[in-house]
Amino acid sequence: MLPVKTLGDEAMPMAAPPPRPRRQRGLVPEIVDTLTADVREGRLQTGDKLATESELMARFAVSRTVVREAISRLQASGQVETRHGIGTFVMAPPEQSNFRVAPEDFATVADVISLLELRISLESEAASLAAQRRDDSHLQNMAAALAAFEASIDDVSDAVPSDFQFHMEVARATGNRHFADLMTYLGTMIIPRTRLNTASSAPEGRLAYLRRVHGEHQSIYNAIRLREPEAARQAMRLHLSNSRERLRRAQPDSPA
């Protein structure tokens, strides 16, 4: 029953407070957490097909953009796999490894820079191999990740899932599963924006920052598409080195 206020001898119901708007960036983790729990608690098994986008939109009362970003995050963490034209399926959990990088290993800017140095060595070579070994399906998946990144810029998203997905597709195109396995293990933590607000704090502003990152991704993609291994290696090295230098400028005392 609503509370009542009185005006003279007349009783009038007080209006209920308007519902608090749900923020899009809070909705994505909500969907990710729910679907992850469905897998963990056995409601979804390895190989099961997820509900369609429309069904998930109805279940969570969210937009298609929110559903797609949530699925992208699940893909990036290796929990699901989307097969074009068929659907999205639950993947088997990755095998355990003695190698460990935990969230607490990304506590400072210097920690993030250290990981970027590892990525420069690893992913530059991966890009070179991808340019030699990629097939049309790899290019298709990279292009889809690029398109999702571009859409995220206009949707006021941090574009982390599509950013990670692009790097994951490059790793897969090497034809060497160890590259992709390591990327899957590290997950979206490798993207600095996951830990630091680099886009919003960039001097040129969020929009220009993300557009520059998108342009760097496109340069990598074009070199891989044209089967130019050295150009792909250099484009990836430049992209990751740029990220490192932006962080170094943000923390002058970081390692040289």
Written as one letter, the residue type at 29 is: P
Domain of 53, CATH number, reads: 1.10.10.10
pLDDT in tens, 79-107: 898 887 888 999 887 655 555 666 566 66
Q: What is the mean pLDDT of residues 137-154?
A: 92
User: Domain ends where: 56, 90, 124?
Assistant: 90
Residue 19: inside a domain, yes or no? no
Write out the H or E segment, with its range, that includes residue 116: helix 109-133
Q: Provide the pairing of β-strand 10-13 with 4-7.
A: antiparallel
Note down the domain range covering 194: 103-250
Q: Is residue 80 part of a domain?
A: yes
Q: Are residues 178 and 241 in the same domain?
A: yes
**What is the Cα–Cα distance from 77 to 36, expressed in whole angstroms?**
11
Give the residue from 65, 90, 115 where a domain finishes.
90
Residue with more model confidence, 6 or 66: 66
- pLDDT band (50, 70, 90) for residue 35: very high
What tens digit of pLDDT does each residue of 215-252 get? 999 999 999 999 999 999 999 999 999 988 877 775 54
Q: What is the DSSP letter of 174?
A: T
215 and 183 within one domain:
yes
pLDDT at 20 over 50: no
Does residue 190 sit in the same domain as residue 78?
Answer: no
214 plus 114 within the same structural domain:
yes
User: Domain for residue 57, yes or no?
Assistant: yes
